[in-house]
Amino acid sequence: MNAKPDLVVLAGWMHILSERFIEIMEGRVTLDYSEIPTAPIPVINLHPALPSAFDGANAIERAYEAFMKGEIKYTGCMVHRVVKDVDRGEPIIVREVAIEEGGSLEALEERLHKVERVIIVQATKKILEGYVVQYFLLRMVLMMHCRLV
């Protein structure tokens, strides 16, 4: 926390963050040796599935299997806010990706990864731009308050 990040981006992380870590990032609790963040620090995650579909590990393989069984026609990927429930946070950016008839799992993985490389940058930009806007709005409110007092 002493580094004071503006954002934490998880891409290929493949570990579940503790609820305590999430609470620290949200500014609800503090570590013994660090100060509580003055503003929540967003934590976002890249996941190769659509919201509420194939949460957790092996999402691409599970989507491909579901396609082969005729259960789905497409899959996708998303960047979402990290919450205690794995891959259940608020989606920031979602993109559908078609699964091609007769296509291989490897071809699907390649197409998904191409989309992931784009949306992780878009989501990071979106979050940081929102952070900058919030920061300047807060400064404006504080400056106006100081002038009124």
- Predicted pLDDT of residue 37: 57
- Predicted pLDDT of residue 136: 52
Q: Is residue 139 part of a domain?
A: no
DSSP letters spanning 86-138: TT-SPEEEEEEEEPPTT--HHHHHHHHHHHHHHHHHHHHHHHHHHHHHHHHHH
Q: Is residue 140 part of a domain?
A: no
Q: Is residue 94 part of a domain?
A: yes
Is there a contact between 51 and 80 (Cβ–Cβ < 8 Å)?
yes
Active-site amino acid positions: 47
Total domain count, the chain? 1
pTM over 0.75: yes
- Predicted pLDDT of residue 126: 92
Q: Is residue 91 part of a domain?
A: yes
- Predicted pLDDT of residue 74: 96
Q: Is residue 1 part of a domain?
A: no
Q: Is residue 56 part of a domain?
A: yes
Q: What's 66's domain CATH number? A: 3.40.50.170
Residue 131: count of CB within 10 angstroms of its CB? 16
- Predicted pLDDT of residue 36: 58
pLDDT block averages, 10 residues each, the chain of length 149: 79 86 83 66 94 96 98 97 93 97 97 96 91 53 48
> Range of 69's domain?
8-123
